[in-house]
Protein backbone atom coordinates (compact mmCIF):
# COMPACT_ATOMS: atom_id res chain seq x y z
CA UNK A 1 0.00 0.00 0.00
CA UNK A 2 1.44 3.36 -1.10
CA UNK A 3 2.04 5.91 1.68
CA UNK A 4 -0.27 8.89 1.38
CA UNK A 5 1.49 12.25 1.61
CA UNK A 6 -0.87 14.66 -0.13
CA UNK A 7 -4.63 15.04 -0.16
CA UNK A 8 -6.87 17.05 -2.44
CA UNK A 9 -10.31 18.21 -1.32
CA UNK A 10 -12.86 19.55 -3.80
CA UNK A 11 -15.50 21.79 -2.26
CA UNK A 12 -14.90 24.65 0.15
CA UNK A 13 -18.13 24.36 2.11
CA UNK A 14 -18.52 23.22 5.69
CA UNK A 15 -17.73 19.58 4.93
CA UNK A 16 -14.87 20.20 2.49
CA UNK A 17 -13.17 22.77 4.69
CA UNK A 18 -13.51 20.49 7.70
CA UNK A 19 -11.96 17.55 5.85
CA UNK A 20 -9.13 19.76 4.57
CA UNK A 21 -8.50 20.95 8.12
CA UNK A 22 -8.26 17.37 9.38
CA UNK A 23 -5.77 16.40 6.69
CA UNK A 24 -3.59 19.45 7.39
CA UNK A 25 -3.69 18.89 11.16
CA UNK A 26 -2.59 15.29 10.70
CA UNK A 27 0.51 16.12 8.71
CA UNK A 28 -0.63 15.92 5.09
CA UNK A 29 -0.13 18.51 2.37
CA UNK A 30 -3.59 19.66 1.32
CA UNK A 31 -4.99 21.38 -1.74
CA UNK A 32 -8.51 22.71 -1.13
CA UNK A 33 -10.32 23.50 -4.38
CA UNK A 34 -13.39 25.63 -4.97
CA UNK A 35 -14.32 27.63 -8.07
CA UNK A 36 -15.93 30.33 -5.91
CA UNK A 37 -13.30 32.73 -4.49
CA UNK A 38 -15.74 33.84 -1.78
CA UNK A 39 -16.17 30.23 -0.65
CA UNK A 40 -12.39 29.75 -0.60
CA UNK A 41 -11.89 32.88 1.46
CA UNK A 42 -14.60 31.81 3.88
CA UNK A 43 -13.09 28.30 4.11
CA UNK A 44 -9.65 29.69 4.91
CA UNK A 45 -11.04 31.87 7.71
CA UNK A 46 -13.17 29.03 9.05
CA UNK A 47 -10.25 26.57 9.12
CA UNK A 48 -7.97 29.10 10.81
CA UNK A 49 -10.58 29.90 13.47
CA UNK A 50 -11.32 26.22 14.08
CA UNK A 51 -7.65 25.33 14.49
CA UNK A 52 -7.22 28.22 16.92
CA UNK A 53 -10.07 26.80 19.01
CA UNK A 54 -8.08 23.58 19.32
CA UNK A 55 -5.13 25.67 20.51
CA UNK A 56 -7.23 27.58 23.03
CA UNK A 57 -8.49 24.29 24.48
CA UNK A 58 -4.93 23.01 24.82
CA UNK A 59 -5.52 20.17 22.34
CA UNK A 60 -2.70 21.24 20.02
CA UNK A 61 0.19 23.68 20.33
CA UNK A 62 0.42 27.01 18.52
CA UNK A 63 3.42 25.64 16.62
CA UNK A 64 1.36 22.67 15.42
CA UNK A 65 -1.44 25.02 14.37
CA UNK A 66 0.99 27.17 12.39
CA UNK A 67 2.43 24.07 10.72
CA UNK A 68 -1.04 22.82 9.80
CA UNK A 69 -2.03 26.10 8.20
CA UNK A 70 1.27 26.10 6.31
CA UNK A 71 0.34 22.76 4.75
CA UNK A 72 -2.98 24.11 3.46
CA UNK A 73 -3.14 25.49 -0.09
CA UNK A 74 -6.43 26.98 -1.32
CA UNK A 75 -6.98 27.42 -5.04
CA UNK A 76 -9.66 27.43 -7.72
CA UNK A 77 -7.50 25.45 -10.14
CA UNK A 78 -8.52 21.77 -10.30
CA UNK A 79 -5.30 20.99 -12.20
CA UNK A 80 -3.36 21.45 -8.96
CA UNK A 81 -4.64 18.04 -7.86
CA UNK A 82 -2.41 16.33 -10.43
CA UNK A 83 0.07 15.24 -7.76
CA UNK A 84 -2.39 14.37 -4.96
CA UNK A 85 -2.30 10.80 -3.65
CA UNK A 86 -5.90 10.88 -2.42
CA UNK A 87 -8.72 13.17 -3.58
CA UNK A 88 -11.96 13.67 -1.65
CA UNK A 89 -14.98 15.21 -3.33
CA UNK A 90 -17.25 17.22 -1.02
CA UNK A 91 -19.49 19.21 -3.36
CA UNK A 92 -23.24 19.53 -3.79
CA UNK A 93 -25.28 16.32 -3.25
CA UNK A 94 -26.18 15.84 -6.92
CA UNK A 95 -25.27 12.72 -8.84
CA UNK A 96 -24.99 14.51 -12.18
CA UNK A 97 -22.71 17.22 -10.78
CA UNK A 98 -20.55 14.69 -8.96
CA UNK A 99 -20.21 12.52 -12.06
CA UNK A 100 -18.99 15.47 -14.10
CA UNK A 101 -16.40 16.21 -11.45
CA UNK A 102 -15.24 12.58 -11.34
CA UNK A 103 -14.82 12.58 -15.13
CA UNK A 104 -12.51 15.60 -14.79
CA UNK A 105 -10.67 14.22 -11.78
CA UNK A 106 -10.06 10.97 -13.63
CA UNK A 107 -8.28 12.94 -16.37
CA UNK A 108 -6.29 15.14 -14.00
CA UNK A 109 -5.28 12.79 -11.18
CA UNK A 110 -2.21 10.58 -11.40
CA UNK A 111 -2.90 6.94 -12.22
CA UNK A 112 -2.32 5.75 -8.64
CA UNK A 113 -4.59 8.32 -6.98
CA UNK A 114 -7.68 7.22 -5.08
CA UNK A 115 -10.87 9.17 -5.77
CA UNK A 116 -13.23 9.33 -2.79
CA UNK A 117 -16.67 10.85 -2.43
CA UNK A 118 -18.06 12.35 0.77
CA UNK A 119 -21.56 11.69 -0.54
CA UNK A 120 -24.08 10.88 2.14
CA UNK A 121 -26.41 8.85 -0.05
CA UNK A 122 -25.45 8.54 -3.75
CA UNK A 123 -24.30 5.25 -5.29
CA UNK A 124 -20.52 4.88 -5.31
CA UNK A 125 -20.81 2.30 -8.08
CA UNK A 126 -22.51 4.82 -10.36
CA UNK A 127 -19.98 7.56 -9.54
CA UNK A 128 -17.14 5.12 -10.21
CA UNK A 129 -18.64 4.21 -13.58
CA UNK A 130 -17.86 7.75 -14.80
CA UNK A 131 -14.12 7.00 -14.46
CA UNK A 132 -11.57 4.66 -16.02
CA UNK A 133 -10.48 3.55 -12.52
CA UNK A 134 -13.58 2.21 -10.71
CA UNK A 135 -11.34 0.02 -8.56
CA UNK A 136 -9.87 3.23 -7.07
CA UNK A 137 -13.18 4.94 -6.28
CA UNK A 138 -14.72 4.72 -2.82
CA UNK A 139 -17.16 6.45 -0.49
CA UNK A 140 -15.64 8.22 2.52
CA UNK A 141 -18.53 9.85 4.35
CA UNK A 142 -17.47 12.16 7.17
CA UNK A 143 -19.97 13.37 9.74
CA UNK A 144 -20.58 17.08 10.29
CA UNK A 145 -18.43 18.80 11.53
CA UNK A 146 -15.51 16.61 10.38
CA UNK A 147 -12.88 17.89 12.86
CA UNK A 148 -15.15 16.99 15.81
CA UNK A 149 -17.30 14.00 14.88
CA UNK A 150 -15.59 10.65 15.44
CA UNK A 151 -17.27 8.61 12.71
CA UNK A 152 -16.34 7.93 9.09
CA UNK A 153 -18.62 5.74 6.99
CA UNK A 154 -16.74 3.87 4.23
CA UNK A 155 -18.67 2.57 1.24
CA UNK A 156 -17.25 0.21 -1.35
CA UNK A 157 -18.57 0.32 -4.89
CA UNK A 158 -19.03 -2.84 -6.95
CA UNK A 159 -15.44 -2.67 -8.22
CA UNK A 160 -13.62 -0.99 -5.31
CA UNK A 161 -10.37 -2.89 -4.68
CA UNK A 162 -9.12 -4.15 -1.35
CA UNK A 163 -6.08 -1.85 -1.64
CA UNK A 164 -8.36 1.17 -2.04
CA UNK A 165 -10.48 0.11 0.91
CA UNK A 166 -7.54 -0.47 3.25
CA UNK A 167 -5.83 2.78 2.22
CA UNK A 168 -9.06 4.70 2.90
CA UNK A 169 -9.59 2.98 6.24
CA UNK A 170 -5.99 3.72 7.25
CA UNK A 171 -6.43 7.39 6.33
CA UNK A 172 -9.62 7.68 8.39
CA UNK A 173 -7.90 6.04 11.36
CA UNK A 174 -4.92 8.37 10.94
CA UNK A 175 -7.43 11.17 11.44
CA UNK A 176 -8.45 9.55 14.73
CA UNK A 177 -11.80 8.36 13.37
CA UNK A 178 -13.82 5.23 14.05
CA UNK A 179 -14.73 3.47 10.81
CA UNK A 180 -17.97 1.72 9.92
CA UNK A 181 -18.50 -0.01 6.57
CA UNK A 182 -21.63 -0.02 4.44
CA UNK A 183 -22.68 -1.80 1.31
CA UNK A 184 -23.51 0.46 -1.62
CA UNK A 185 -27.22 0.95 -0.94
CA UNK A 186 -29.06 4.27 -1.01
CA UNK A 187 -28.37 6.27 2.15
CA UNK A 188 -25.78 3.75 3.39
CA UNK A 189 -26.12 3.21 7.19
CA UNK A 190 -26.41 6.57 8.93
CA UNK A 191 -28.73 8.40 6.57
CA UNK A 192 -30.81 5.30 5.80
CA UNK A 193 -31.90 5.54 9.46
CA UNK A 194 -31.49 9.25 10.25
CA UNK A 195 -33.27 10.89 7.32
CA UNK A 196 -36.57 8.99 7.64
CA UNK A 197 -36.61 10.06 11.31
CA UNK A 198 -36.11 13.69 10.29
CA UNK A 199 -38.75 13.31 7.57
CA UNK A 200 -41.20 11.86 10.11
CA UNK A 201 -40.54 14.83 12.40
CA UNK A 202 -41.54 17.09 9.49
CA UNK A 203 -44.72 15.03 9.02
CA UNK A 204 -45.49 15.45 12.74
CA UNK A 205 -45.09 19.22 12.37
CA UNK A 206 -46.98 19.28 9.05
CA UNK A 207 -50.01 17.43 10.42
CA UNK A 208 -50.14 19.42 13.65
CA UNK A 209 -49.14 16.65 16.05
CA UNK A 210 -47.07 19.14 18.05
CA UNK A 211 -45.06 22.34 17.84
CA UNK A 212 -41.51 22.25 16.52
CA UNK A 213 -40.23 22.98 20.01
CA UNK A 214 -42.12 20.07 21.57
CA UNK A 215 -41.08 17.68 18.80
CA UNK A 216 -37.42 18.53 19.35
CA UNK A 217 -37.67 18.57 23.14
CA UNK A 218 -39.43 15.21 23.08
CA UNK A 219 -36.63 13.59 21.10
CA UNK A 220 -33.86 15.27 23.10
CA UNK A 221 -35.19 14.41 26.52
CA UNK A 222 -37.13 11.27 25.62
CA UNK A 223 -34.40 9.53 23.61
CA UNK A 224 -31.28 11.34 24.86
CA UNK A 225 -30.45 12.85 21.46
CA UNK A 226 -28.15 15.90 21.68
CA UNK A 227 -30.28 17.75 19.11
CA UNK A 228 -33.91 17.41 18.10
CA UNK A 229 -34.59 16.16 14.55
CA UNK A 230 -35.87 19.50 13.26
CA UNK A 231 -32.97 21.41 14.80
CA UNK A 232 -30.60 18.83 13.33
CA UNK A 233 -32.21 19.21 9.91
CA UNK A 234 -31.55 22.96 10.07
CA UNK A 235 -27.92 22.26 11.00
CA UNK A 236 -27.46 19.77 8.15
CA UNK A 237 -29.32 21.93 5.62
CA UNK A 238 -32.91 21.27 4.56
CA UNK A 239 -31.84 21.10 0.92
CA UNK A 240 -29.39 18.33 1.79
CA UNK A 241 -32.06 16.46 3.75
CA UNK A 242 -34.45 16.73 0.83
CA UNK A 243 -31.82 15.52 -1.65
CA UNK A 244 -31.09 12.47 0.49
CA UNK A 245 -34.78 11.65 0.92
CA UNK A 246 -35.21 11.81 -2.85
CA UNK A 247 -32.24 9.46 -3.32
CA UNK A 248 -33.74 7.05 -0.78
CA UNK A 249 -37.16 7.24 -2.43
CA UNK A 250 -35.77 6.66 -5.92
CA UNK A 251 -33.25 4.02 -4.90
CA UNK A 252 -35.40 1.94 -2.55
CA UNK A 253 -38.75 2.46 -4.26
CA UNK A 254 -40.82 2.58 -1.08
CA UNK A 255 -43.42 5.30 -0.45
CA UNK A 256 -42.28 5.57 3.18
CA UNK A 257 -39.23 7.45 1.88
CA UNK A 258 -41.30 10.07 0.06
CA UNK A 259 -40.25 13.55 1.27
CA UNK A 260 -42.72 15.37 3.50
CA UNK A 261 -44.50 18.18 1.59
CA UNK A 262 -43.50 20.64 4.32
CA UNK A 263 -39.82 19.84 3.82
CA UNK A 264 -40.23 20.38 0.07
CA UNK A 265 -42.07 23.67 0.68
CA UNK A 266 -39.38 25.01 2.99
CA UNK A 267 -36.65 24.24 0.46
CA UNK A 268 -38.69 25.80 -2.36
CA UNK A 269 -39.01 28.92 -0.20
CA UNK A 270 -35.25 29.09 0.35
CA UNK A 271 -35.58 28.17 4.02
CA UNK A 272 -32.51 25.95 4.01
CA UNK A 273 -31.55 26.10 7.70
CA UNK A 274 -28.80 27.79 9.68
CA UNK A 275 -26.67 28.54 6.61
CA UNK A 276 -29.47 30.79 5.29
CA UNK A 277 -30.50 32.15 8.68
CA UNK A 278 -33.92 30.48 8.51
CA UNK A 279 -35.23 26.96 8.22
CA UNK A 280 -37.61 25.32 10.66
CA UNK A 281 -36.32 27.92 13.12
CA UNK A 282 -35.56 31.59 12.45
CA UNK A 283 -31.93 32.09 13.45
CA UNK A 284 -32.05 35.77 12.57
CA UNK A 285 -34.39 36.37 15.50
CA UNK A 286 -32.26 34.21 17.77
CA UNK A 287 -29.14 36.14 16.76
CA UNK A 288 -30.83 39.48 17.37
CA UNK A 289 -32.06 38.28 20.77
CA UNK A 290 -28.56 37.10 21.63
CA UNK A 291 -27.01 40.43 20.60
CA UNK A 292 -29.61 42.48 22.50
CA UNK A 293 -29.03 40.41 25.63
CA UNK A 294 -25.31 41.06 25.43
CA UNK A 295 -25.84 44.82 24.97
CA UNK A 296 -28.27 45.11 27.85
CA UNK A 297 -26.49 42.90 30.36
CA UNK A 298 -22.91 43.06 29.19
CA UNK A 299 -22.76 39.26 29.39
CA UNK A 300 -24.43 36.16 28.04
CA UNK A 301 -27.99 35.55 29.28
CA UNK A 302 -27.17 32.00 30.42
Structural domain span for residue 282: 191-292
Q: Is 144 annotated as a binding residue?
A: yes
Domain's final residue, options 149, 182, 215: 182
Q: Is 11 annotated as a binding residue?
A: yes
Domain's final residue, options 182, 200, 226: 182
Residue 253 covered by a domain? yes
Residue 300 covered by a domain? no
Separation of alpha carbons 96 and 134, rounded Å: 17
Residue 299 covered by a domain? no
Whether residues 106 and 196 share a domain: the answer is no
Whether residues 205 and 150 share a domain: the answer is no
pLDDT tens string 63-76: 999 999 999 999 99
Separation of alpha carbons 74 and 54, rounded Å: 21
**What's the whole-number average pLDDT of the chain?**
94
Q: Is the pLDDT of residue 2 over 80?
A: no
Residue 203 confidence class, pLDDT cut points 50, 70, 90: very high
Whether residues 159 and 205 share a domain: the answer is no
Whether residues 227 and 284 share a domain: the answer is yes
Q: Is the pLDDT of residue 295 over 90?
A: no
Cβ distance 102 to 131 under 8 Å?
yes
Give me the count of residues in the chain. Answer: 302
Residue 264 covered by a domain? yes
**Residue 15 burial (CB < 10 Å; 0-12/13-18/19+)?**
buried
Q: Is 93 annotated as a binding residue?
A: yes
| Segment 293-302 mean pLDDT | 39
Whether residues 65 and 200 share a domain: the answer is no
Domain count for the chain, please give it. 2
Catalytic residues: 120, 141, 153, 191
Residue 260 DSSP label? P
pLDDT of the residue at 1 = 60
Whether residues 159 and 231 share a domain: the answer is no
Secondary element (H or E) of residue 231? helix 229-236
Whether residues 169 and 202 share a domain: the answer is no
Whether residues 96 and 72 share a domain: the answer is yes
Whether residues 65 and 90 share a domain: the answer is yes
Q: Is the pLDDT of residue 287 over 70?
A: no
Residue 3 confidence class, pLDDT cut points 50, 70, 90: confident
Separation of alpha carbons 140 and 168, rounded Å: 7
Other C-beta atoms lying within 10 Å of the C-beta of residue 69: 16
Q: Is 297 annotated as a binding residue?
A: no
pLDDT of the residue at 298 = 42
| Segment 197-206 mean pLDDT | 98
pTM, 2 dp:
0.89
Domain's final residue, options 182, 203, 232: 182
Residue 34 covered by a domain? yes
Q: Is 270 annotated as a binding residue?
A: no
Residue 101 covered by a domain? yes
Separation of alpha carbons 79 and 137, rounded Å: 19
Residue 288 confidence class, pLDDT cut points 50, 70, 90: low
Separation of alpha carbons 199 and 90, rounded Å: 23
Whether residues 268 and 156 share a domain: the answer is no
Whether residues 197 and 166 share a domain: the answer is no
Whether residues 53 and 157 share a domain: the answer is yes
Residue 301 covered by a domain? no
CATH at residue 139? 3.40.50.720
Residue 298 covered by a domain? no
Amino acid sequence: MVELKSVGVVGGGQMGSGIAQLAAMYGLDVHLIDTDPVALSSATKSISASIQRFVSKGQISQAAATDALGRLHCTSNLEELCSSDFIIEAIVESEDVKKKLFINLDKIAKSTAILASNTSSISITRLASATSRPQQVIGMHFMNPPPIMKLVEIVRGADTSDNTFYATKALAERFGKIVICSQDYSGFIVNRILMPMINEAFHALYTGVATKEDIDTGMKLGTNHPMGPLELADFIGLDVCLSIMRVLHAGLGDSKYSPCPLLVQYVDAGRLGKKRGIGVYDYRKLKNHFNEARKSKGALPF
